[in-house]
Chain A
Amino acid sequence: MSLNYLTPEFKVLRDYDKCINCKVCMRQCANEVHSYDEDLGKMVADDYKCVNCQRCVVMCPTHALTIVKHPQVFRENANWTYDAIRDIYRQAETGGVLLSAMGNDRPYPIYWDKMVINASQVTNPSIDPLREPMELKIFIGRKPDKIELDENLNVKTKMPPQLTLNYPIMFSAMSYGSISYNAHASLARAAKELGIYYNTGEGGLHKDFRKYGPNTIVQVASGRFGVDREYLKTAAAVEIKIGQGAKPGIGGHLPGEKVSEDISETRMIPVGSDAISPAPHHDIYSIEDLSQLIYSLKEATDYKKPVGVKIAAVNNVAAIASGIARAGADYIAIDGFRGGTGAAPKRIRDNVGIPIEFAIASVDSRLRSEGIRHTISLIAAGSIRSSADIVKAIALGADAVYIGSAALIALGCHMCQQCYTGKCNWGIATQDPNLVKRLNPEIGYKRLVNLITAWGHEIQEMLGGMGINDIESLKGNRLMLRGIGMTQKELDVLGILAAGE
């Protein structure tokens, strides 16, 4: 087709009073937006190619660049929006499924932002975390029905395996393949430094990162990439991936061109072959089948490691979670519909699944009502953006949270949502050696450590304000939350009162 109906999404503004023609922008843009025009004797830009990753903006030594939303508009139409029209142009041109990356970006309500946190005034004192001990440590795993002591008051009960977290935060599953070697190196090292865990995702564990085993959760997904005895033994815990929030019910596909020598070795598949994760696990069609896999993995790891299950938040998540708890899982990770991804069909990403806030509340309520809440830990995932979101998630009933997008943002991600193109200008969602270098793990891991430490301080402040000195005492403590601007039904599902009540 000759004429492209799409107009540029962004406009590159260059302040020529400031541009010194150093070409740094040109060298840094993998989308080849900038070039030097010998005839004009100045830098020029091709707006069409810009994805607004802001790499050039940040690198320009004279701050000469600004990227703006392109002022080109359609005639105002509340029904036929900018995106709706443009998506049709794209599909009419390519005939393909629309791809997208990172999480659902549609303007659905964000329930975190409709909940507020309590604080003590007069009747019970708040606690100053700088002066008094404030515990953030938590344990992930099945807790025994009761604790028995012997005559010397030593614990007699045999504890099921637990993960110990210094912060109620872990790095979500992101595979080597979807993100770069240097991104993995940063996550692994930060997890070790912080005393938390990172998750290999479904792409196997690179041999260089085996040394981080005690801080690693390994995934067993439908493609079973990279799974062998050593993989399971090296890890601190094993996670069965059933689904993810960005694409519930959908499998994964890493195109063959991204399966390099290194990735092929890590995934245990031939170089250049497509890595296809089927939508279902072909050996799991019931809770009983899931239970078999859970126990096979426990058997393979001598019952020494927690085995968890990750699912996407969908309509009947509470019933599914109850089944998973009864199937013997030690933890369940629930990924809400805003969860990120390296590539997902846009319509699935934007229309399938439910918000994590509702999923956590309903799962916690269901497990409590069945008297099995203690048998399983609950991890909330799917767009945790700040320490306040974490406090709210835990008050709704989560034990801990997984963060993925937030961790990548700490590493430099600017949310351009182009991860599936493989041209991440920040060296994160790419395997191009020219780009991977841009993420220096020495810098990356420190930024992650800083982020989690900062969030830890903030969580302590909020806990102290509520008069609580241990994060465990906040778990499921929904009286600490109040809702603003919600319907009665929404408040009921979340199990919280309205502000002022």
Chain B
Amino acid sequence: MKKVYAKEEVCVGCKLCEVYCITSHSRYKDVLKAYKFDSNRPAPRIVVEENRPLSFSLQCRHCDDAPCVKACITGAMQKDPVTGVVTCDTDKCVGCWTCVLVCGFGAIVRDTNNKIASKCDLCAESGEPACVKNCPNEALVYEGGI
């Protein structure tokens, strides 16, 4: 499946990917409004890891054998059998953080504002991951087979 890959050699650690991730998952699809007006502003589902000069952005790897899906106590965490995308059904999620505990990459974020597990959904709604589209240095690529 197509995934987001980080090219750490050109990641400049600006964290714009986080800004655009938040925007993409806010009910306003506009940076300014998402930050200024969204009272339920989502947490970023992509996290920039840094140990300067090294930096790269990390998000869900959509594992084939996803431990978070197995561990989820309510069945909120699901892997789409067709697309392979792992998503969290926020209506079912109770914020127990079991998935956070089992994810080997630390790619699941606790959205304490909304008390749900928050993770990369590859911007399923818009079709193209917002982090990839807005990374100023092409340090993120969206590629791979089906």
Contacts and interface: CB of A to CB of B under 8 A. Distances in A.
B16 A437 contact: no
Interface in A407-466: 432-434, 437-438, 440, 442-443
Interface stretch (B31-39, B101-109, B116-124): B31-39
A180 to B, nearest CB: 13
B138 A440 contact: yes
A437 B9 contact: yes
Interface in B4-23: 9-16, 18-20
Nearest to A432: B53
- Specify the main secondary structure of chain A where it touches its partner: loop
Contacts of A20: 19, 31-32, 35-36
A28 B19 CA distance: 15
A326 interface: no
A496 to B, nearest CB: 45
B137 interface: yes
Nearest to A182: B10
Contact of A438 (B32, B36, B52, B137): B137
Given A61-B19, A61-B31, A437-B9, A28 B14 contact: yes
B16 A443 contact: no
B20 A61 contact: yes
Contacts of A437: 9-12, 53, 137
B53 A438 contact: no
B136 interface: yes
A114 interface: no
Interface residues of A, number: 19
A239 to B, nearest CB: 31
A94 B16 CA distance: 39
B139 interface: yes
Given A59-B136, A440-B10, A433 B53 contact: yes
A347 interface: no
A434 B144 CA distance: 29
B14 A440 contact: no
Interface string A1-29: 00000000000000000101111100110
A62 interface: yes
Contacts of B9: 437
Contacts of B139: 440
A24 B35 CA distance: 14
Given A18-B32, A61-B20, A23 B138 contact: no
Contacts of A438: 12, 137
Nearest to B18: A22
B15 A23 contact: yes
B31 A24 contact: no
Contact of B19 (A24, A433, A442): A24
A336 B95 CA distance: 68
Contacts of A24: 14-16, 19
A410 to B, nearest CB: 16
Nearest to A427: B12
A411 B88 CA distance: 41
A426 to B, nearest CB: 11
A437 B56 CA distance: 12
Nearest to B10: A440
Nearest to B23: A61
Given A20-B32, A62-B32, A437-B12, 14 more contacts: A18-B32, A21-B35, A23-B15, A24-B14, A24-B19, A27-B15, A62-B35, A433-B53, A434-B53, A437-B10, A437-B11, A437-B53, A438-B12, A440-B138
7 contacts: A20-B32, A24-B16, A27-B13, A27-B14, A432-B53, A437-B10, A437-B137
- Nearest 6 CB-CB pairs, A to B? A20-B35, A433-B53, A440-B10, A434-B53, A440-B137, A438-B12
Interface of B: 9-16, 18-20, 31-32, 35-36, 52-53, 134, 136-139
Interface of A: 18, 20-24, 27-28, 59, 61-62, 432-434, 437-438, 440, 442-443
